[in-house]
């Protein structure tokens, strides 16, 4: 989204209807995000309610086909474009206190009246809706992933100093440049059918890793390795060196005997000592 358009959209924010303002009235501190439409764009106005009941608007957002933008104001008067896109900050942490920046969403129905109506936010299981909408603006083909059962590849994770800030992350293996679902996932048809199972999609990242490690293995064997070994490349390498067996046979043995990789590692160590 160009800077000129970001500046222009700041003057397009619709007023909050009286019935929604009434829902934010009350006492005790609380945070609200009100979703609104004006034309095709989706607007978000973010309010903090003080303990005594006074309301103050902290952040603003716009989600459009050509991108998204976040606004804030430092002096309490003039709105400016923020370079960083993140979830709304209703209260700044200071003096060693951590403030609650969670919020109640009002007028969620506005999403389906805007250009965000195909974002599949009803499938998204995280709590960072505005960041999710930002991701959809960047990658509209996100819709294909969510509808095909691979929504678990989009998740919330903590990052930053002391891991104190949550952000929406997409699996690093996704090829956003393609609108073909198989190419997006870097899978062939057999792999897609295997991993699409709701119990298997969570192993997608591991599967891609082990496929790079053992490109000649069959999809079912790679899935078994993914389930058994997780991301333990070094452990698998050590087992192969110690036994001279293939990764498939090692995995089959561990799985059939219902033992952990740690127990099998101890067993091999004892064999070496003897």
Q: What is the pLDDT of residues 53-69, one digit of tens each?
A: 999 999 999 999 999 99
Mean pLDDT rounded to a whole number for the chain: 92
Look-up: residue for tokens 């209807």? Answer: 17
**Per-residue pLDDT tens digits for 189-215:** 999 999 998 889 999 999 999 999 999
- The bridge status of strand 104-106 relative to strand 80-82 is unpaired
pLDDT digits (tens, 9 = 90+) for 15-31: 999 999 999 999 999 99
Cross-strand bridge partners of residue 68: 63
The pLDDT value given to residue 92:
64
**Percentage of the chain lying above the pLDDT 70 cut:** 95
Q: How confident is the model at residue 97 (pLDDT cuts 50, 70, 90)?
A: very low
Helix, strand or coil, per DSSP, at residue 63: strand
Q: What is the pLDDT of residue 91?
A: 78
Average pLDDT over residues 153-166: 77
Predicted local distance difference test score (pLDDT) of residue 270 = 86
C-alpha 70/C-alpha 59 separation (Å) is 7
Using pLDDT thresholds of 50, 70 and 90, give the confidence band for residue 76.
Answer: confident
Question: What is the distance between the alpha carbons of residues 15 and 183, in angstroms, rounded to a whole number?
Answer: 43
Q: What's the average model confidence in pLDDT over 157-186?
A: 88
Domain spans of the chain?
1-117, 123-177, 187-274
Tell me: pLDDT of 94 over 90: no
Centre a 10 Å sphere on the Cβ of residue 148 and count the other Cβ atoms it contains.
15
Q: Which pLDDT belongs to residue 55?
A: 94
Residue 147 scores a pLDDT above 70: yes
In angstroms, the CA 81 to CA 7 distance is 8
Mean pLDDT of all residues in 24-40: 95
Residues 6+ apart with CB under 8 A from 193: none
pLDDT in tens, 220-250: 999 999 999 999 999 999 999 999 999 999 9
Confidence of residue 162 (pLDDT cuts 50, 70, 90): low
pLDDT, residue 33, reads 98
Predicted pLDDT at 95: 39
Over residues 254-271, the mean pLDDT reads 91
The answer for 139, left when phi > 0, alpha when psi is -120 to 50, beta otherwise, is beta
C-alpha to C-alpha distance for 141 and 184, rounded to whole angstroms? 9
The angle at the Cα of 137, spanning 136 to 143, to the nearest 5 degrees, equals 35
In this prediction, residue 98 has a pLDDT band, given cuts at 50, 70 and 90, of low
């Amino acid at each position: 989204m160009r800077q000129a358009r970001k500046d222009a959209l700041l003057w397009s924010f619709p007023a909050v209807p009286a019935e929604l303002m009434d829902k934010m009235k009350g006492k005790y501190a609380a945070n609200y995000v009100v979703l609104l439409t004006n034309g095709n764009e989706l607007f978000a106005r973010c309010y903090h309610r003080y303990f005594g009941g006074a309301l103050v608007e902290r952040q603003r957002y716009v989600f459009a086909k050509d991108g998204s933008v976040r606004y804030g104001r430092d002096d309490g008067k003039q709105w400016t474009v923020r370079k960083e896109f993140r979830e709304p900050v209703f209260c700044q942490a200071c003096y060693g206190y951590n403030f609650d920046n969670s919020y109640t969403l009002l007028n969620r129905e506005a999403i389906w009246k805007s250009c965000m109506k195909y974002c599949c936010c009803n499938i998204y299981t995280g709590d960072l809706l505005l960041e999710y909408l930002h991701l959809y603006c960047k990658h509209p083909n996100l819709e294909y992933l969510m509808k095909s059962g691979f929504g678990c590849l989009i998740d919330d994770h903590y990052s930053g100093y002391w891991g104190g800030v949550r952000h929406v992350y997409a699996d690093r293996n996704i090829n956003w440049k393609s609108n073909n679902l198989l190419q997006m996932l870097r899978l062939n048809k057999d792999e897609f059918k295997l991993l699409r199972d709701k119990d298997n999609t969570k192993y997608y990242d591991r599967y891609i890793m082990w496929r790079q490690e053992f490109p000649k293995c069959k999809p079912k064997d790679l899935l078994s390795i993914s389930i058994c070994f997780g991301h333990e490349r070094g452990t698998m390498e050590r087992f192969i060196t110690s036994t001279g067996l293939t990764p498939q046979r090692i995995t089959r043995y561990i799985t059939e005997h219902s033992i952990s990789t740690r127990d099998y590692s101890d067993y091999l160590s004892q064999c070496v000592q003897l």
